Amino acid sequence: MIRIGIAGLGFMGMVHFLNYQRTRGAKVTAIATPESERRAGDWRAIKGNFGPPGEKMDLSGIETYESVDEMIGSAKLDAVDITLPPNLHADAAIKATKAGKHVFCEKPIAMTIADGRKMVRAAEKSGRQLLVGHVLPFFPEYAWALKVIRSGKYGEVIGGAFRRVISDPEWLPNYWQADKVGGPMLDLHIHDAHFIRLVFGRPIALSTIGRTHNDLPEFWHTQFRFESGCTVEATSGTIDQQGRPFDHGFEIHLEDATLLFEFAVIGDEGHYLCPPTILDRSGKAKRPKLDGGDPMDAFAAELKEVVRSFAAEEPSEVLGCQLALDAVEMCHAQSRSLATNKQVRL
């Protein structure tokens, strides 16, 4: 049984807590959060954009701590799950791995490449695993695309286009602060940056155009260049109108097929603008039947992989820290390209 301590109890901390309850081989035995009411089990103030609302929780048998440092130093843990604000990831992860704990850290791995590298070095030195919570490959549409690509059934992947646009999340504090959240580049687009890196490899160069808000990228288009010659583009960012709070999708080109998908929340309802579809050489559009659809199921699948990785002492490929670090580097390179109006090499 992997004993888990959750560092930070906001919306994502609650999502992880609930899904560990669905995960065999793991148990949350400690929680660290500065809010006294949350340590007492009153989570009604926790809100997010999916999943169940916060409620009163029975924390019997779970040790609670006011600080992460106290939890790391006192609780008997095998791993620490970090769901703190992004600017606090590095410090907590380094302390946890130095204390001999495995770490699962929510994305992004860190706000800066330098901090991310420090986290990786600390984990390597301690012989502990550092995994990063890039959940997108566990969503049914993206898991399906990854499976099709890796099957080789339709030949090599040769390009693609990705989209991820939200309404400005006014409910999130510090969203437009470069040193705390980093705006939509590090909070939103990093999902696609990670998936692009996972599927196509590490880009050699990129070019970005768009607009900024508070000196951070607000809405942009990026073209990625790869040694293989693949052509990949991504559109991401925020809009000011709240009527469409979420939109994401892809068009992935293989030698013998194209994979299509787009989903949006319009008003209060989610809609497939294009359901998962394969266009092959037969000239037909085929729509596979996918399981799931509830975002909580994707997080449950992600945590199952985390626990498997920790228990087997076999680091997860999809959640590996190097992919996560490359995704941060890709995001910072896009920000530089947008600011300078020049191509950036990686």
Q: What average pLDDT does the segment 143-149 reach?
A: 98
Residue 322: band (very low, low, confident or very high) from pLDDT cuts 50, 70, 90: very high
User: pLDDT per residue over 119-131, tens digit each?
Assistant: 999 999 999 999 9
Distance CA 346, CA 342 (A): 13
Q: How far is CA 106 from the centre of its chain?
A: 7
Give the position of tokens 């509830």: 294
CA neighbor of 164 nearest in space, from 226, 241, 220, 105: 220
pTM to 2 decimal places: 0.95
The model's confidence at residue 49, banded by pLDDT at 50, 70 and 90, is low
Q: What is the pLDDT of residues 152-203, one digit of tens each?
A: 999 999 999 999 999 999 878 889 999 889 999 999 999 999 999 999 999 9
Q: Which of 101-105, 288-292, 320-324 comes out lowest in average pLDDT? A: 288-292
Furthest CA-CA distance within the chain: 62
Domain 136-293+327-345: give its CATH superfamily: Dihydrodipicolinate Reductase; domain 2 (3.30.360.10)
Q: Which fold has domain 2-133?
A: Rossmann fold (3.40.50)
CA distance 213 to 220: 11
Q: Where are the domains of the chain?
A: 2-133, 136-293+327-345
Cβ neighbours of residue 17 under 8 Å, at least 6 residues apart? 6, 9, 28, 31, 57
Strand 231-239 versus strand 216-225 pairing type: antiparallel
